[in-house]
Amino acid sequence: MSLVWRWRFIGVDLIGTQGETFGYYGRGWAGGEPNRPGPFMLQLMLILVGPVFIAATIYVTLGRYKQMMLNEPTRRCSPTSFFVLTIIAFCTQIGGSLVQVTGDLKIMKIGDKVVLGGLIFQLCVMAVFLALIIRFYRLAYRTILLRGRWRWAVIMLAVSIVVIWVRNLVRVIEFGQGFHGFVSQNEAMLYIFDAFPMVSVMILFIIFHPRFLKPSADRSKA
């Protein structure tokens, strides 16, 4: 099971966390060389799309919990598998970020709208997914007497989704206001509503990593 969880969490363990790390490295680099496009693109793309992989990991985790707690069989068209298709959001945000380097104001505005569309799509997906987590929690609590770390692990998924949702909402406001908006012009907004929320989610996954959970529910009542 350890190896299975290692591969299932590659999104949050490697792609998501490393993307955030190198993204902020690029931001520090861009601060010293503001006229170079390389550092600007590095921080823009990685900080923007890193949470997409972390969110995808959360989607997969709910499906795994359903299998472990409710003995549900794996289905090809399960709700969790559907939400992994947020790769659409990843592609739109990457595409919108890439055109920022052109320097053409018209193209850059189009890129902002593309990124904005991807972020809004993520907000809608996460809102529906949060409803699925709440539904699963109620079902698991009622049928198998969900207790202990398992209970808090499910609550952690809901909290993580809410945190990322708020982060995405602030990014929506940022791209909606434009480069000269309040969010873009205040450095603290990035650290308060982007860096801190994502670090919090990573810490939650360290504390409640499914690899360290042991079944504590009465499966006979499932």
Reply yes or no on whether the pLDDT at 217 is more than 50: no
Can you tell me the mean pLDDT for 77-89? Answer: 62
Can you tell me the mean pLDDT for 37-49? Answer: 81
* pLDDT for residue 68: 75
* pLDDT for residue 11: 56
The type of residue at 125 is V
* pLDDT for residue 1: 43
* pLDDT for residue 19: 83
Q: Which of these, 55, 65, 72, 56, lies nearest to 151 by C-alpha position?
A: 65
Reply yes or no on whether the pLDDT at 116 is more than 90: no
pLDDT class of 2 with cuts at 50, 70, 90 = very low
Q: Which of 58-62, 88-92, 149-153, 217-221 has the lowest mean pLDDT?
A: 217-221
Can you tell me the mean pLDDT for 20-41? Answer: 82
Reply yes or no on whether the pLDDT at 215 is more than 70: no
Q: What is the mean pLDDT of the chain?
A: 77
* pLDDT for residue 34: 74
Contacts of 77 by beta carbon, 8 Å cutoff, 6+ apart: none
Can you tell me the mean pLDDT for 37-45? Answer: 80
Residue 188: Cβ within 10 Å count: 8
pLDDT tens digits for range 142-170: 766 566 677 888 889 999 999 999 999 99
pLDDT class of 3 with cuts at 50, 70, 90 = very low
CA distances in angstroms from 94 to 35, 89, 157, 170, 199, listed in the order given: 21, 9, 26, 18, 22
Can you tell me the mean pLDDT for 99-122? Answer: 77
Higher pLDDT, 39 or 71: 39
Reply yes or no on whether the pLDDT at 216 is more than 60: no
pLDDT tens digits for range 170-182: 999 988 888 788 9
